[in-house]
Chain A
Amino acid sequence: SQQGEEDPQALSIQEGENATMNCSYKTSINNLQWYRQNSGRGLVHLILIRSNEREKHSGRLRVTLDTSKKSSSLLITASRAADTASYFCATPSGDMRFGAGTRLTVKP
Chain B
Amino acid sequence: GAGVSQTPSNKVTEKGKYVELRCDPISGHTALYWYRQSLGQGPEFLIYFQGTGAADDSGLPNDRFFAVRPEGSVSTLKIQRTERGDSAVYLCASSLERELTQYFGPGTRLTVL
Contact = CB atoms under 8 A, between A and B. Distances in A.
Given A2-B42, A41-B89, A100-B41, A94 B102 contact: no
A88 B104 CA distance: 13
Interface of A: 2, 30-31, 33, 35, 40-45, 48, 88, 90, 92-101
Interface of B: 4, 33, 35, 40-45, 48, 55-56, 58-59, 89, 91, 93, 98-107, 109
Contacts of B41: 100-101
A95 B48 CA distance: 6
Contacts of A95: 33, 45, 48, 55-56, 58-59
A72 B56 CA distance: 26
Contact of B91 (A43, A48, A93): A43
Nearest to B43: A98
Contacts, number: 69
B9 to A, nearest CB: 8
A84 to B, nearest CB: 15
Contacts of B109: 41
B91 A42 contact: yes
Contact of B98 (A33, A41, A44, A92): A92
Nearest to B3: A42
Given A41-B104, A92-B100, A98-B35, 6 more contacts: A2-B42, A2-B44, A40-B106, A41-B89, A44-B104, A95-B58
Contact of A99 (B42, B91, B93): B42
Contacts of B103: 45
Contact of B43 (A40, A88, A92): A88
